[in-house]
Homo-oligomer: A and B are copies of this chain.
């Protein structure tokens, strides 16, 4: 893929949730079609896509048909099974590339990669068994967090250790999956940088946003974040170093802890990110279009921030507030088309222009 994709070309998206939905809408602005691949029925992204394949990631035949019907494949989540990626990649390019997926699918690999880049990360140790946990606790101490190496999101697969006596309970929660112990970082707050790299290697970052989590789930992102000029520069340089090291094409989310000793990388996500939703109402080109531009071989768009925004996630029963929110001034409502409301389920978000 050396030429930019033109009107009529099709982007394949693995995963049909809200990120896929908003990617599909962004692709349509550029004249491009989307084909969604998703195991579950009636995916939110399918409501605004040109085609949908409903099949499991183990169905090589369906994956092959899907791959042959599109010009490039991207994904809305990093835990796509490796075999599915192998099948697809024989037929059509995957953007962002496999290396970014390999690294971000495993917290240990990710932490090691970041540390080897010279970036600050929390102290960490591989936990293969209870013996390793005891040894790691002696080094890293408490408070600390035990996390499964794979398949964690929104605080799932994590156990907090307040002291060494919590070790057995925490380890049991890992259910014999490979795990990682992370030391506690005493941070003031968390920011994230939504960074993009084009296929030609240009890099552009959206302004860092300040995140507030509750119960392990992102609640709000506010721009501008409370960063000074030096911190702002550091944040962008860190993101750019990661993008270049991965020879990355697309949008990447980087979560950073702000500490007196500088910025500590919490985690990276090789995709559009919940903390970048504010860009839909704060920039001419938002994170979704920026990702589509990158993977479609277009130049990056203008992601300069032109106003102050607070993004608030609508989770579960927050949907009861939609009637009131829809009448608020300076407020954009974004809903995901999910009919069933469940506690902890991301149903939509609002972007409030605050200045």
Chain A residues at the B interface, C-beta cutoff of 8 Å: 4, 6-8, 21, 24-25, 28-33, 46-50, 281, 284-285, 293, 298-299, 301-302, 304, 306-307, 319, 322-323, 326-339, 347-348, 351, 353
Q: Which residues of B contact A25 (CB under 8 A)?
A: 25, 28-29, 48
For residue A26, give the distance in angstroms from its CB to the closest CB of chain B: 10
The answer to whether B302 and A29 have CB atoms under 8 Å apart is: no
Q: Which residues of B contact A298 (CB under 8 A)?
A: 326
Closest to A337 in B: B31
For residue A194, give the distance in angstroms from its CB to the closest CB of chain B: 18
Question: A48 contacts which of B24, B306, B319, B348 (Cβ < 8 Å)?
Answer: B24
Question: A335 contacts which of B31, B50, B339 (Cβ < 8 Å)?
Answer: B31
Question: A306 contacts which of B21, B46, B307 (Cβ < 8 Å)?
Answer: B307
Give bound CA distance, A246 to B6, whole Å: 42
The answer to whether B330 and A284 have CB atoms under 8 Å apart is: yes
The answer to whether A335 and B46 have CB atoms under 8 Å apart is: no
Question: A7 contacts which of B7, B8, B49, B335 (Cβ < 8 Å)?
Answer: B335
The answer to whether A281 and B281 have CB atoms under 8 Å apart is: no
The answer to whether B46 and A337 have CB atoms under 8 Å apart is: no
The answer to whether B32 and A293 have CB atoms under 8 Å apart is: no
Question: A47 contacts which of B28, B299, B307 (Cβ < 8 Å)?
Answer: B28
Give bound CA distance, A299 to B328, whole Å: 9
The answer to whether B7 and A337 have CB atoms under 8 Å apart is: yes
